[in-house]
């Protein structure tokens, strides 16, 4: 699979997806969004990949949002279609069934912050800046940023960020719970790779079900989400990995999970 605006590198069970348009701070145009869609579907169906890192090329920007050149000339119909396509790609990331780590190496603005929020875990370089500056362009977020931001940091904090359009530092994003960790910029990819390798070694079916239980369960009424969790708990008992994990504990050795 070839891409013009993405780099896709595989290192054992970890794939690293880099948005590669550094001249425009890795802004997402329609082509890049479509390449992301294809790459993510490919990673979803590749059983040898057990964790994914998403980052941006260069040391200045993760993704500086949707490409404003395209936004500036869109019709209402184009705008709606563009937002739906973007939301679909971010949904694919959120529901990949494998952990996706956003390694935020610089600006994560607008659609860039929205993409990071669709990831499982966000690690930010201490130099990163995050925000939803759409209001300053006279538009609203279109890749579900109003929804994910409010769910991650709470309604009041989300509204303040969305209405001011302010950029916040990685440290402030950490204080708000928008990113999981802040690390020195020089260590960012190593930290992301270490975490990705740790997660890649876990039992893949259990990983997939935990992701489903949280991501889908949070959208359900609590009693239904509990039943959903109980069903996944029962289903996982059908796996060899469940037998291996429990046996390894009792035999005082490290489990070797096979993904079955
Ligand atoms: N789109 C297109 N080009 C961009 C973008 C962008 N989002 N961001 C930066 N660039 C370009 C600049 O135009 C510039 O190009 P050139 O060299 O040709 O002048 C180049 O990248 C470098 O940028 P700057 O010179 O501006 O770099 P600075 O260090 O001075 O500033 C900033 C960096 C603060 C990140 C600044 O570039 C900036 O504010 N960028 C825009 C950020 C933004 O507003 N993002 C939100 C976009 S809207 C969005 O994401 C909505 C998503 C949902 C859409 C739903 C579908 C409709």
Query: What are the distances in angstroms from CA 129 to CA 166, 171, 172?
Result: 10, 9, 9
pLDDT of residue 259: 87
Ligand 1 pocket residue status of 109, Cβ below 6 Å: yes
pLDDT of residue 1: 80
Contact 216, 197 (CB under 8 A): no
Distance 27 CA to ligand 1 centre (A): 7
Q: Is 38 exposed, middle or buried (0-12, 13-18, 19+ CB in 10 A)?
A: middle
Q: How remote is the CA of residue 240 from the centroid of ligand 1, in Å? A: 49
Q: Residue written as tokens 């494998």?
A: 98
Nearest CA owner, ligand 1 atom 53: 142
209 lines ligand 1 (CB under 6 A): no
For the chain, 260 residues long, give each residue's pLDDT as a single digit of tens: 899 999 999 999 999 999 999 999 999 999 999 999 999 999 999 999 999 999 999 999 999 999 999 999 999 999 999 999 999 999 999 999 999 999 999 999 999 999 999 999 999 999 999 999 999 999 999 999 999 999 999 999 999 999 999 999 999 999 999 999 999 999 999 999 999 999 999 999 999 999 999 999 999 999 999 999 999 999 999 999 999 999 999 999 999 998 88
* 67 close to ligand 1 (CB < 6 Angstrom): yes
What token pair was written down for 155? 């309604």
Nearest to 202 by CA among 238, 248, 152: 248
How much distance in Å is there from the Cα of 260 to the middle of ligand 1? 44
**Separation of alpha carbons 103 and 98, rounded Å:** 16
Pocket-testing residue among 21, 22, 25, 134, ligand 1, by greatest number of atoms within 8 A of Cβ: 25
* d(CA 125, ligand 1 centre) in Å: 19
């Amino acid at each position: 699979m070839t891409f013009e605006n993405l780099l896709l590198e595989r290192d054992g069970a970890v794939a690293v997806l880099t948005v590669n348009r550094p001249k425009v701070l890795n802004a997402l145009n329609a082509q890049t969004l479509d390449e992301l869609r294809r790459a993510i579907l490919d990673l979803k169906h590749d059983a040898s990949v057990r964790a994914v890192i998403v980052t941006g090329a260069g040391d200045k920007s993760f993704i500086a949002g949707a490409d404003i050149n395209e936004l500036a000339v869109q019709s209402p119909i184009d705008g709606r279609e563009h937002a739906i396509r973007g939301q679909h790609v971010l949904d694919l990331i959120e529901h990949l069934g494998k952990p996706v780590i956003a390694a935020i190496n610089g600006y994560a603005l607008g659609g860039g912050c929205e993409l990071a929020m669709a990831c499982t875990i966000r690690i930010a370089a201490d130099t990163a800046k995050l925000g939803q500056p759409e209001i300053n362009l006279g538009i609203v977020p279109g890749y579900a940023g109003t929804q994910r931001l409010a769910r991650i940091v709470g309604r009041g904090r989300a509204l303040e960020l969305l209405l001011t359009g302010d950029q916040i530092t990685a440290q402030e994003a950490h204080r708000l719970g928008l990113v999981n960790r802040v690390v020195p910029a020089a260590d960012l990819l190593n930290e992301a790779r270490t975490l990705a390798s740790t997660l890649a070694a876990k039992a893949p079916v259990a990983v997939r079900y935990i992701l489903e239980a949280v991501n889908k369960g949070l959208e359900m009424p609590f009693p239904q989400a509990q039943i959903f969790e109980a069903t996944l708990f029962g289903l996982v008992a059908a796996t060899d990995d469940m037998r291996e994990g429990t046996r390894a504990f009792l035999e005082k050795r490290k489990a070797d999970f096979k993904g079955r």
